Chains A and B, each alone.
Chain A
Amino acid sequence: MGNKQTIFTDEQLDAYQDCTFFTRKEILRLHGRYHELAPHLVPMDYTNEPDCKVPLALIVNMPELKENPFRNRIVESFSEDGMGNLSFNEFVDMFSVLSEMAPRELKAIYAFKIYDFNVDNYLCKEDLEKTLNRLTKEELTPEEVQLVCEKAIEEADLDGDSKLSFADFENMITRAPDFLR
């Protein structure tokens, strides 16, 4: 474990350690994984902060995300352009929030974004229907899906606008101790 790495400057590594839940070794390992995704795109030397983004299609093929039904939404909610192309900062950010050390409140914020398919800051009925279809892989009939989503909104909606705002979502999360990732 020497200080001989030339990928990042020390200030960059310290800044990463300040802003994420990762240690220095993990950040270097993450950079290795990021580089593996697109070796011709990602430079090994990050000291002058190159501006390169790995496309969505390559990121969702990572073994951690491959089988996850929400993989596209996860990557999209961390990307600046909303299309799922992640720079290294966004990549680190994503794994930091998904790691075990991130507090539940932070995960709740991003979970809301992931389930919000039409990106309007509300979980409306269509968002819930899409979520449910991905969860159950089309095992429920469309009528059952409709019914479940209606009931879910009825149960959790506190301000009566028939869609779930973040406040409603957060309120429900606090009652579910098993909201772990």
Chain B
Amino acid sequence: MQLRRRRQSRPAIRDFSRSARPSIRGYGMEVDSTDAEVSKRDRLVNNLQNLSVSDRVRMLRGMPLSVAEKSELSQIPCCSQLKYYIIIGARHSWYSWLNFLHSLQLWQVALKTVSGRFGTGVLSYFLFLKTLLFFNFFLFLVTGAFMVLPQAVHPPVLPAGRSSFSGLELLTGAGYFSDTVMYYGYYSNYTLRKSCRDDGGVQNVSLSNGTRLDCVSKHLSYNMPLAYFFTIGVAFFITCIILVYSMSKSFGQSFRIDKSHSILAMKVLCSWDFKVIKKTSVKLMSENISTQLKELLAEVNQKHVKNTACQKLWRLMVHGLAWTICIGSTTACVLKLQQSSRIADNNLLLTEASLLALPVVVSLINLLLPGLFNLAAWMEDYESPSVRTYVAICRNLMLKVSVLGLLCYHWLGRVAADPEDIGLKCWESFVGQELYRFLLMDFIFTLLDTLFGEFLWRLKVLKRRRKPVFDIARNVLELIYGQTLAWLGVLFTPLLPAVQIIKLFLLFYIKKSSVMMNCQAPRKPYRVSQMTTVFITLLCFPSFLGASVCVTITMWSITPSSSCGPFRELKTMFQAGKRWVEELEKDNPNLSVLARAHSYLVENPFFLFVGAGIFLIVIYFHSQVVDGQRKIISLLQEQIENVRHHLNTVYTALCNYEDNYKTN
């Protein structure tokens, strides 16, 4: 076999300028060694010019060249003066807009301080909080602009006997607040119209659909029920799209064909967290990495010690016991809740303060039971910290899902079904108030937990030597729980996103000061991108999906109250949309196609099932494709190994051949 040395088809890397190596491949540069550097650059410039402006900028920024070289490449050719000035002007205005957006960035300094001391793990909690704040801000803008503002400008006629403001309203949300724009019951069920200009004294006379009036402004009218229905629907739809998009993006980044082929190499080269600045944290991180490397070395060197059958049985028993404790305590709490909610129903209007009993009990459960789960996990003594985190998340999630499920059943199944039984005239406002109370109690208890859990260490009450560690998973789950409540409540309390915004704002500062003063950096390794993906998925799936299912059920099948709210006299809230389509058809017979399409497609549940089925099939196909690609990648890696092995053999054979040839 004759071996030919292949000529290098690429110039030696040391010939490039220092900061230009090692990789200019992928930028459309297939170079021969005969080309001079100048023509290389010309080719690169040509490639760049063929791209659109935004693509060009993105590629420029991603190149591993120095700024001086890049600015030479980014010169726009002077095709025509006018075009040149237009491009310059557009670029200038785009950058001014970006600058403005950037100056609105929230909490930059605070986040930098936290990440400087605790690293990317704890930072991910605060970034998640910031993301939730933006979701709520979006919701608030939409509901505020389309629901709250029009109704606030055209207040309806209120029933007599409104209670005056006493401080308790802020806690219970009832009393003075119950007849304000905060709750569902305040909203009118007719089209709001602007008042006539002759009637100077009468402000904002609104009509109901049937009666006629002398002067009516033809233009500015606002169909409140329709607006209410569509605003909620569209807000949820857009939130869904944003969530699914960020979830899939996060998945794409964090899902790797893991399987630990190069654990040690990855630990050495990829585990340093460059965000950490503080000296003690850096020292802690070094210690962590050393410990992990020593453990990995020990694992790699020794064979894994097999457990005897007896030990396995013992471990199984311990796990079983721990899970029994967790599930048992959850079930017990849920049953007790069911009982006390039934009692609360009967004593509803006793005193306003008694309304707070149920939220307090739920918040206590949410606070204390995870502690019990932690004890159970300590008893189980997991080896792998990531398994422990996942088990803790599972148990917490199970608790919160059961509690929320029970509450939804209680409100929608019992309170909504028979409101007169309990003596309620407006059950939607009542449910809205309940959600407000739950949200507020959740905040108060988180505050108390932070104060007592973390500040107590300072007073050395518990006599622990080391500072507590910030439990990222538990805190994120609490954020998700609060957000679920907010999403559940938007239909009944359009101002609930505003309350949630205030709560998240305050929470940020409280948690930040608590973390900075009282906690130490986490000792266990924390896989940030995987955890972030898990949390976004949890936000999308149980949380948002559950809330939207509840809202859909409410809109589709539950009878609204007959004496309050924008949907009174309708069989279901959904009828508002249907009625509007019928009116449109009456006014304009040409739109009958739309009406018929509406009645067949949207009202018929068959279409929804078919749509959902198609959606699931598409998802299934995509997941199969991803699976197949993953298999191909592992096959290719095996091939690379084989080729390497083959090359080694050939090389050894050649060396032997040369040696033999030389000696003979």
Chain A contacts of B21 at CB under 8 A? 121
**Known contacts being A19-B74, A140-B293, A159-B644, is A177 close to B66, with CB within 8 Å?**
no
Give the distance in Å from the alpha carbon of A89 to the alpha carbon of B67 in the complex.
Answer: 6
Are B277 and A173 in contact (CB-based, < 8 A)? no
From A1, A18, A78, A132, give the contact of B268 (CB < 8 A): A132
The chain A residue with its CB closest to the CB of B94 is A17
Smallest CB separation, A93 vs chain B (Å) = 5
Give the distance in Å from the alpha carbon of A103 to the alpha carbon of B63 in the complex.
Answer: 10
Chain B contacts of A24 at CB under 8 A? 95, 99
From B17, B91, B254, B277, give the contact of A177 (CB < 8 A): B254
Are A14 and B91 in contact (CB-based, < 8 A)? yes
Are A175 and B258 in contact (CB-based, < 8 A)? yes
Are B647 and A175 in contact (CB-based, < 8 A)? no
Give the distance in Å from the alpha carbon of A28 to the alpha carbon of B42 in the complex.
Answer: 31
Chain B contact surface mostly: helix
Give the distance in Å from the alpha carbon of A21 to the alpha carbon of B283 in the complex.
Answer: 31
Among the stretches A31-39, A40-48, A53-61, A62-70, the one at the interface with B is: A62-70
From A19, A77, A152, give the contact of B262 (CB < 8 A): A152
Smallest CB separation, B298 vs chain A (Å) = 10
Q: Is A128 an interface residue (CB 8 A)?
A: yes
Number of interface residues of B (CB under 8 A): 72
Smallest CB separation, B263 vs chain A (Å) = 7
Are B261 and A175 in contact (CB-based, < 8 A)? yes
From A1, A66, A139, A172, give the contact of B269 (CB < 8 A): A172
Are B67 and A92 in contact (CB-based, < 8 A)? yes
Chain A contacts of B647 at CB under 8 A? 160
Q: Is A117 an interface residue (CB 8 A)?
A: no
Give the distance in Å from the alpha carbon of A155 to the alpha carbon of B261 in the complex.
Answer: 7
**Known contacts being A24-B95, A136-B293, is A175 close to B257, with CB within 8 Å?**
yes
Are A23 and B64 in contact (CB-based, < 8 A)? no
Give the distance in Å from the alpha carbon of A90 to the alpha carbon of B68 in the complex.
Answer: 8
**Known contacts being A24-B95, A176-B256, is A18 close to B290, with CB within 8 Å?**
no
The proximity string for B residues 246-274 relative to A, scoring 1 for CB distances below 8 Å and 0 otherwise, is 00000001111110011111101111111
From A68, A112, A169, give the contact of B282 (CB < 8 A): A68
Give the distance in Å from the alpha carbon of A178 to the alpha carbon of B292 in the complex.
Answer: 16
**Known contacts being A80-B19, A179-B270, is A18 close to B71, with CB within 8 Å?**
yes
**Known contacts being A140-B290, A178-B270, is A148 close to B264, with CB within 8 Å?**
yes
Are A135 and B289 in contact (CB-based, < 8 A)? yes
The chain B residue with its CB closest to the CB of A132 is B268
Give the distance in Å from the alpha carbon of A181 to the alpha carbon of B297 in the complex.
Answer: 25
Are A180 and B272 in contact (CB-based, < 8 A)? no
Q: Is A82 an interface residue (CB 8 A)?
A: yes
Chain B contacts of A70 at CB under 8 A? 272
The proximity string for B residues 61-105 relative to A, scoring 1 for CB distances below 8 Å and 0 otherwise, is 111101110110010000000000000100110010011001100
Q: Is A20 an interface residue (CB 8 A)?
A: yes
Give the distance in Å from the alpha carbon of A151 to the alpha carbon of B263 in the complex.
Answer: 10
Are B23 and A155 in contact (CB-based, < 8 A)? no
Are B62 and A181 in contact (CB-based, < 8 A)? no
Are B293 and A177 in contact (CB-based, < 8 A)? no
Are A148 and B297 in contact (CB-based, < 8 A)? yes
Give the distance in Å from the alpha carbon of A152 to the alpha carbon of B261 in the complex.
Answer: 10
Find the residue from A66, A137, A173 having the highest chain B CB count within 10 A: A137
Smallest CB separation, A176 vs chain B (Å) = 4
Smallest CB separation, A136 vs chain B (Å) = 4
Chain A contacts of B71 at CB under 8 A? 15-16, 18-19
**Known contacts being A14-B92, A151-B264, is A1 close to B293, with CB within 8 Å?**
no
Smallest CB separation, A130 vs chain B (Å) = 11
Are B286 and A177 in contact (CB-based, < 8 A)? no
B518-543: which residues lie under 8 A (CB-CB) from chain A?
527-530
Are A136 and B290 in contact (CB-based, < 8 A)? yes
Chain B contacts of A69 at CB under 8 A? 272, 282, 286
Q: How many A-B residue pairs have CB under 8 A?
A: 194
Q: Is A8 an interface residue (CB 8 A)?
A: no
Are B262 and A156 in contact (CB-based, < 8 A)? yes
Q: Is A25 an interface residue (CB 8 A)?
A: yes
Are B297 and A178 in contact (CB-based, < 8 A)? no
Give the distance in Å from the alpha carbon of A20 to the alpha carbon of B19 in the complex.
Answer: 15
Give the distance in Å from the alpha carbon of A14 to the alpha carbon of B84 in the complex.
Answer: 14
Are A155 and B62 in contact (CB-based, < 8 A)? no
From B13, B14, B256, give the contact of A175 (CB < 8 A): B256
From A21, A68, A144, A172, give the contact of B265 (CB < 8 A): A172
Give the distance in Å from the alpha carbon of A175 to the alpha carbon of B264 in the complex.
Answer: 13
Smallest CB separation, B283 vs chain A (Å) = 7
Give the distance in Å from the alpha carbon of A105 to the alpha carbon of B268 in the complex.
Answer: 18
Q: Is B449 an interface residue (CB 8 A)?
A: no
Are A68 and B274 in contact (CB-based, < 8 A)? yes
The chain A residue with its CB closest to the CB of B12 is A121
Q: Is A158 an interface residue (CB 8 A)?
A: yes
Are B268 and A178 in contact (CB-based, < 8 A)? no
Are A144 and B644 in contact (CB-based, < 8 A)? no
Are B279 and A67 in contact (CB-based, < 8 A)? yes
B281-321: which residues lie under 8 A (CB-CB) from chain A?
282-283, 286-287, 289-290, 293-294, 297, 300-301
Are B18 and A82 in contact (CB-based, < 8 A)? yes
Find the residue from A19, A89, A96, A169 having the highest chain B CB count within 10 A: A19
**Known contacts being A15-B71, A18-B74, A109-B23, is A140 close to B66, with CB within 8 Å?**
no
Are B62 and A67 in contact (CB-based, < 8 A)? no
Chain B contacts of A153 at CB under 8 A? 265
Are A174 and B256 in contact (CB-based, < 8 A)? yes
From B61, B102, B256, B258, give the contact of A25 (CB < 8 A): B102
Are B269 and A115 in contact (CB-based, < 8 A)? yes
Smallest CB separation, B67 vs chain A (Å) = 4
Smallest CB separation, B210 vs chain A (Å) = 56
Smallest CB separation, A118 vs chain B (Å) = 13
Chain A contacts of B254 at CB under 8 A? 177
Find the residue from B120, B258, B266, B301 having the highest chain A CB count within 10 A: B266
From A25, A63, A140, give the contact of B277 (CB < 8 A): A63
Are A151 and B300 in contact (CB-based, < 8 A)? yes
**Known contacts being A106-B64, A155-B262, A166-B23, is A1 close to B99, with CB within 8 Å?**
yes
Are A21 and B264 in contact (CB-based, < 8 A)? no
Chain A contacts of B529 at CB under 8 A? 177-178, 180
A23-B102, A152-B265, A172-B266 given. 6 additional CB < 8 A pairs? A18-B91, A25-B103, A69-B272, A80-B19, A121-B21, A176-B256
Q: Can you list 9 A-B contacts with CB-CB less than 8 angstroms, sorted by A residue number?
A: A1-B103, A68-B277, A111-B269, A112-B22, A140-B293, A156-B265, A175-B261, A175-B262, A180-B275
Those 10 A-B pairs whose CB atoms lie nearest each other, nearest first? A155-B262, A152-B265, A139-B290, A19-B70, A156-B265, A181-B274, A136-B290, A89-B67, A15-B71, A176-B270
Q: Tell me the A residues contacting B by CB distance below 8 Å.
A: 1, 10, 14-21, 23-26, 63-64, 66-70, 77-78, 80, 82, 89-90, 92-93, 96, 98, 102-103, 105-106, 109-113, 115, 121, 123, 128, 131-132, 135-137, 139-140, 144, 147-149, 151-153, 155-156, 158-160, 164, 166, 169-170, 172-181
